[in-house]
């Protein structure tokens, strides 16, 4: 990787693909693992006062909610000692941006952090199979005799809007004789979230889907329900969604501060940001951590009441403890249809 040149505009690709640490000379300016999201928002640890980012006039500019400049950065001069240290350690060059905060001119710096996304080749789980052209993917950490095998096939296979990836955890060779699945992978005796983490390295075979559901093998679902869940997530442009367990009869969906980990549905971008930490957290911390990492507003995270699932008691929830409902889209009957009229009346 080339070391960026001092004073050059910050490279957008680098900004998007790495977590960054913000450090400042004054209190309150530090933020760990900040993410610059493609739509101009800031995810992960958001520096106090910053709300969005862009590259303007050759600078990385952080802006406040009103669009005013909060801080701006350019590529820092290369430190020969650091370059040499990186070379000796055979690691990518350290990337740093230097800048100033607009309000008080305090010096700030942004340093690119290593991402766990760079999974060592030997540890990645490699799915076997090929994409069908569908836009969505369901991944099941699968063993024999669990509920996923009984999902109702209430759709013709051609009408499915999702591919299926089975990640076998109970057999060293897997069971590749399942025609419903487009991919098979082996994660023998590997815990579910560790397997998911190793399944999604950056740029891997499964990275091109619009939305990905990571389903617990114990949930009850149906093929049409999966279609509907993906359609809802797409229609409302949700970054994170979870099918409801206890369905709210008033709602089509409920916006929430976080979702649970039984069957999270990630947008492509959300998965790219969360994949590095899929294996990191305790069960009750995962959902809140994903929400915080994405930095998305509440209306991008939702519980899907119109597309519910079943699950045995005690294995999890659609919404983790402490999460809040922040709004909803109502179920509603449309108004009575208009009586068919005669031909259009010209003005």
Partner 1 sequence: MIEPGPVQTDWTGRRWRLGHPGRPPIAPQMLLLPDQRVGGSDDDSRRSWAFRDGALTLSGADGMPSVRFDRLKVHFDEWRLGGTELATGAAIELNETLPAQVPIDRIGSVDAVPLHGGPRRDFLVIVHAGSRTLHHRWERDIDDSARNWDLLLSCSSGDPGPGRDEADLFCEQSHIGTTRLLYCLLHPESALWDYRYIMLCDEQIMLRWSDLNRLFVRMVEHRLLIGQPAMGPDGHVEHEITRARPDLLLRYTTFVDRAAPVFEPSVLRLAVPTFGTVYLGQGMDHLWCFLIGRPRGRMAVIDDVAVTLTDPIGGRYRAEIGDVEEELICRTYGLQPDARELGFIAR
Among 2, 89, 120, 345, binds partner 1 (CB under 8 A): 345
Q: In whole angstroms, give the CA distance from residue 48 to residue 28.
A: 7
Applying CB under 8 A, the span of 74-82, 136-144, 190-198, 297-305 interacting with partner 1 comes to 297-305
Cβ-based neighbours of 260, under 8 Å, separated by 6 or more: 242, 287, 316, 317, 318, 319, 320
Among 172, 237, 282, 314, binds partner 1 (CB under 8 A): 237
CB of 250 to partner 1, least distance (A): 9
The reply to whether 67 sits near partner 1 by the rule CB under 8 A is yes
Q: Residue 129: which of 120, 139, 119, 121 has the closest Cα?
A: 139
CB of 80 to partner 1, least distance (A): 40
Q: In whole angstroms, give the CA distance from residue 287 to residue 318.
A: 10
The reply to whether 57 sits near partner 1 by the rule CB under 8 A is no
The reply to whether 158 sits near partner 1 by the rule CB under 8 A is yes
Identify whether the C-beta of residue 7 lies closer than 8 Å to the C-beta of residue 19: no
Identify whether the C-beta of residue 243 lies closer than 8 Å to the C-beta of residue 221: yes
Q: How many other CB atoms sit within 10 Å of the CB of residue 30?
A: 14
Closer by beta carbon to partner 1, 204 or else 236: 236
Cβ-based neighbours of 124, under 8 Å, separated by 6 or more: 198, 199, 201, 204
Applying CB under 8 A, the span of 64-72, 143-151, 261-269, 276-284 interacting with partner 1 comes to 64-72
Among 133, 172, 282, 341, binds partner 1 (CB under 8 A): 341
Among 8, 25, 38, 65, binds partner 1 (CB under 8 A): 65
DSSP code string of 245-257:
SS--TTEEEEEES
The reply to whether 153 sits near partner 1 by the rule CB under 8 A is no
The reply to whether 239 sits near partner 1 by the rule CB under 8 A is no
Number of residues located near partner 1, criterion CB under 8 A: 39
State which H helix or E strand residue 233 sits in: helix 223-235
Residues of the shown chain interacting with partner 1 in the complex, contacts defined by CB under 8 A: 65-68, 158, 161, 224, 227-228, 231, 235-237, 251-252, 255, 297-299, 306, 326-330, 332, 334-338, 340-347
């Amino acid at each position: 990787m080339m070391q960026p040149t001092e004073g050059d505009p910050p490279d957008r690709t680098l900004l998007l693909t790495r977590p960054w640490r913000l450090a400042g000379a004054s209190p309150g300016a530090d933020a760990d693992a900040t993410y610059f999201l493609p739509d101009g928002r800031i995810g992960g640890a958001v520096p106090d006062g910053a709300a969005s980012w862009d590259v303007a006039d050759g600078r990385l500019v952080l802006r406040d909610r009103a669009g005013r400049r909060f801080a701006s950065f350019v590529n820092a001069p290369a430190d020969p000692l650091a370059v040499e240290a990186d070379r000796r350690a055979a690691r990518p060059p350290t990337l740093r941006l230097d800048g100033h905060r607009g309000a008080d001119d305090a010096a700030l710096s942004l340093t690119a952090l290593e991402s766990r996304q760079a999974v060592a080749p030997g540890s990645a789980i490699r799915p076997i199979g090929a994409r069908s052209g569908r836009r969505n993917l369901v991944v099941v950490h699968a063993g024999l005799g669990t509920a996923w095998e009984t999902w109702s096939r209430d759709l013709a296979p051609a009408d499915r809007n999702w591919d299926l990836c089975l990640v076998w955890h109970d057999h060293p060779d897997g069971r590749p004789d399942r025609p419903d699945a487009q991919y098979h992978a082996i994660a023998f005796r590997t815990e579910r979230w560790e397997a998911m983490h190793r399944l999604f390295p950056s740029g891997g075979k499964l990275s091109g889907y619009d939305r990905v559901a990571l389903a617990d093998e114990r949930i009850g679902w149906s093929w049409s329900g999966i279609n509907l869940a993906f359609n809802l997530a797409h229609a409302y442009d949700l970054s994170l969604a979870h099918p409801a367990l206890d369905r709210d009869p008033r709602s089509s969906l409920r916006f929430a501060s976080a979702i649970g980990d039984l069957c999270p549905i990630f947008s492509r971008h959300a998965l790219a940001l969360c994949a590095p930490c899929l294996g990191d957290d305790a069960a009750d911390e995962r959902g809140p951590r994903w929400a915080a990492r994405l930095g998305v507003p509440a209306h991008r995270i939702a519980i899907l009441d119109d597309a519910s699932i079943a699950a045995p008691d005690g294995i999890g929830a659609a919404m983790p403890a402490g999460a809040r409902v922040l709004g909803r889209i109502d179920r509603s009957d449309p108004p009575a249809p208009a009586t068919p009229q005669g031909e259009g009346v010209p003005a």
